[in-house]
Amino acid sequence: MIVNPILLQVFRNRFIAIAEEMGVTLGRTAFSPNIKERRDYSCALFDTDGDMIAQAAHIPVHLGSMPLSVKAAIEAIEMLDGDMVMLNDPFAGGTHLPDITLVAPIYVDGSPKPAFFVANRAHHSDVGGMTAGSMPVSTSIFQEGIIIPPTKIVSAGEIDRNLFRLLLRNVRTPQEREGDFAAQVMANLTGVQRSKQLVEKYGLQQTCDYARYFNDYAEKMLRQTIAGIPDGNYQFEDCLDSDGFSAQPVVLKLQLEIKGDSAVLDFRGCAPQVKGSVNAVYAITLSAVLYCFRCLVKEDVPTNAGIARPLTILTKPATVVDARFPASVAGGNVETSQRIVDLVLGALAQAIPEQIPAASQGTMNNTTIGGIDPRTGQPFSYYETLAGGCGATSSQDGASAVHSHMTNTLNTPVEALEYAYPFRVTQYSLREGSGGHGQMKGGDGLVREIEMLAETEVTVLSERRRNQPFGLAGGAAGQSGCNLKIIGEHREKLPEKATGYFKTGERLRIETPGGGGWGKTEN
C-alpha cells in the first residue's frame, strides 16, 4: 500500500472525530450525573473483525477491554443493519456489571457483513444487586447486579420493549437507566452515520486500507519505543490492602521481559482469586498493560489494536488478574486495575528510571450512596470516583486532586450533586501535605465530606488505606487515604471496603491518598 501522508492525517482525524462526537452525544443526552457530569463513558470505532481502529480520549480501563466485548458480541449474535447488542458480562469482555456496552454494526455499499462497528460503554449508577450503586462488598457476581450476556436489544432500529422492561425492573432507578440507555443508542447512531459519510466520500476500500495502516503505524511506533528500553528481566511486587473480608494483603507480582522490540509481561505469580470483589478479569489486566505502554510513546500515536501486537501477557486462570466465573469483580475494574498499573510502572522504573513517575494514589475511592429521596419519594443511587495525588516525575511535581491512570473522569460539581441528591457537601478541598516529599513532590489528595439529608446506604470500595503509594529514586511515599463516618463530634474510622447505613445528619468523609515523591531531597 502506498500511503499518502496527507490522507493518513485526514483519516486519523476523521476516525478519532467519529469516536469523539459519539462521546459528545452520549454526555449531552444522558440523564445521570455520573454520565452527564462525570463523563463516565467511552466510545470507539472498530473494524470488521472487532479490532479497535480509534478511540476517543475517554477512560483507559473501558477502552482497553472494549474490543473483547465487541468480539464477544460478534461471535454470539449476527448483527444486521439497524441492530444493536448490549452486554455487561465481565466474563465476556466486560469489566464490572455497571459498565454496560452497546455495539452497533455498520453496513456500507451493500456489504454482506458489517464493514465496521461502533461501540460505547457507560457506567450506570445502578444495575441492581445487594447494595445501591451495584458496587458492593460482595462474594459473588450474583450479588453485584443483573448479568447481561451479549443480547440483541435493538432490531432493525426498534428497541425490544419486553426485554427492556425486564432489565429496568431489576434496577433501583429505572427512569434514569432508561435515559442513559437512550443516550447510548443515540451515540451509536451518531457513530454509524459519521462512518457511512466517511465511506461515501473516500470509498470503502480506501477507508479500510487506511484503517489497517492506522493500526500498523501504532504498532511500529510502540516497537520503536520498546526497542529503546534496555533488554532484560525486571520484577516488581505490590499488594492490595485487602479483599474486604480478610485482613491479609492480596499480593500481585510481575516479571517483565524486554527483548528487542517486544515485551512479555508475566502475571502468573499473582495471588489466587479471593472471596471479595477485587478480582479482575483478563480484560482489565489487558487494559492496564496497554495503557502503560501507550504512555511510553512520546509521539502522538493512536491507541488502537496495533498497540497490543508487541506485547505478550501471561496470566494464570483463577487469579486476581484473570478471575473465573462466578467470582465477585465489582472492585477489580476500579481498584485492581490501578494496582496493575503500579506493577507495570514499578517494573519499568528499573529499566528506564528517568521516564517513569512515582506511584499515583492507586485507587478510585469508589463511593456509592442510595436511598429514598424525601423530596420526590423515589429511590436514588449516586456513584462517584474521587481524585487524588499523582506521582512525581524526574522533572516535575505530581498533579494534585486529579483522576489518574485507569480512570479519566471528572468530578461531580457540588452544585450538581446537591441538586440531584439529598446531600450537603460540607467540605471539598485539597488534602495539603499528603503528597510524598522528594526532589519532586507528589501531588496532594483531596477531602470530600458529605452530610446526608436522608437515611442512606453507603458503600466505599477503596485502596491505599493500609499501604502507601510508593516513591521512586529515593522519594518518599504519599500518605495513605482514610474513610470516616462522622456523627456529631465523633469520628469513626471505616475500613477500606465498607458498607453501612447513615442517618440524616451523619457525614461521610473521604480523604484520598497523595502521590509518591521522586528523588532524594537534598540536606
CA distance 105 to 39: 24
pLDDT at 392: 98
- Selection from 328, 436, 325, 453 nearest residue 382 by Cα: 453
Count the Cβ atoms, other than its own, within 10 Å of residue 196: 16
Residues in a beta bridge with 440: 518
Would the pLDDT of 40 be above 80?
Answer: yes
Joined grid coordinates for residue 473: 529514586
The DSSP line for 265-292 is EE-TTSPBP-SSTT---HHHHHHHHHHH
Q: How far is CA 283 from CA 23, 65, 183, 238, 348, in A?
A: 22, 5, 25, 20, 21
Whether residue 279 contacts residue 91, with contact meaning beta carbons closer than 8 Å, is answered with no
Question: Reduced to 3 DSSP states, what percent helix, strand and coil does the chain have, rounded to the nearest 5?
Answer: 30, 25, 45
What confidence tens digit (pLDDT) does each residue in 156-199 have? 999 999 999 999 999 999 999 999 999 999 999 999 999 999 99
Residue 500, classified by CB atoms within 10 Å of its CB into exposed (0-12), middle (13-18) or buried (19+), is: middle
Is the C-alpha dihedral spanning 242, 248, 249, 252 positive or negative?
A: negative
Mean pLDDT of 458-471: 98
pLDDT of 523 strictly over 70: no
With H, G, I as helix, E, B as strand and everything else as coil, classify residue 3.
Answer: coil
Mean pLDDT of 346-366: 97
The answer on pLDDT for 254 being more than 70 is: yes
Sheet with 497-502: strands ordered across: 378-384, 366-373, 456-461, 497-502
294, containing H or E segment: helix 282-296
In angstroms, the CA 276 to CA 279 distance is 7
- Which of the four pLDDT bands, split at 50, 70 and 90, describes residue 242? very high
SS (H, E, C) 383-452: EECCCECCCCCCCCCCCCCECCCCCCCCCCCHHHHHHHCCEEEEEEEEECCCCCCCCECCCCEEEEEEEE
Rounded Cα gap, residues 23 and 27, in angstroms: 6
The pTM of this model reads: 0.95
Residue 347 to residue 265: CA distance in whole angstroms: 10
| Residue 354 burial (CB count, 10 A) | 11
* Whole-angstrom distance, CA of residue 292 vs CA of residue 14: 25
The answer for residues whose C-beta is within 8 angstroms of residue 253's C-beta and 6 or more apart is: 235, 236, 237, 267, 269, 270, 343
- What does the alpha-carbon distance between residue 444 and residue 244 come to, in Å, rounded to a whole number? 26
Does the pLDDT of residue 427 top 80, yes or no?
A: yes
Q: For residues 314 and 312, what is the distance between their CA atoms, to the nearest angstrom?
A: 7
* Backbone angles phi and psi of 63, in degrees to 5: -70, -35
Mean pLDDT, rounded, for 33-62: 89
Round to whole Å and give the CA distance between 369 and 276. 20
Name the average pLDDT for the chain. Answer: 95
Would you say residue 425 has pLDDT above 80? yes
In a 3-state reduction of DSSP, which class is residue 102?
Answer: strand
Residue among 415, 406, 368 nearest 387 (CA) = 406
The C-alpha atoms of residue 388 and residue 381 are separated, in whole angstroms, by 23
Q: What is the pLDDT of residue 508?
A: 98
Flag the least confident range among 214-218, 241-245, 253-257. 214-218
The rounded distance, in Å, linking the Cα atoms of 56 and 445 is 27
Grouping H, G, I as helix, E, B as strand and the rest as coil, residue 197 is helix
| 473 pLDDT above the threshold of 80 | yes
The answer, yes or no, to whether residue 354 has pLDDT greater than 70, is yes
| Range 370-376 average pLDDT | 96
State the alpha helices, DSSP H only, in 203-281: 204-227
What does each C-alpha distance from 247 to 206, 274, 275, 344 come to in angstroms? Answer: 57, 12, 12, 25
pLDDT at residue 408, as a whole number: 83
Residue 1 has pLDDT above 90, yes or no: no
Per-residue pLDDT at 233: 98
CA torsion, points 130, 132, 138, 142, in degrees to nearest 10?
50
What pLDDT band is residue 300 in, cutting at 50, 70 and 90?
confident
Instruction: Tell me the pLDDT tens digit for each residue of 434-451.
Output: 999 999 999 999 999 999
Counting every residue written for the chain, the total comes to 523
pLDDT digits (tens, 9 = 90+) for 102-149: 999 999 988 889 999 999 999 999 999 999 999 999 999 999 999 999
Peptide bond into 326 cis (omega under 30): yes
pLDDT at 226 over 70: yes
* Domain locations in the chain as residue ranges: 5-218, 357-523
3-state SS, residue 155: strand
DSSP strand E in 19-98: where? 41-47, 52-55, 84-87
Residue 395 burial (C-beta neighbours within 10 Å; 0-12, 13-18, 19+): exposed
Backbone angles phi, psi at 209, to 5 degrees: -60, -45
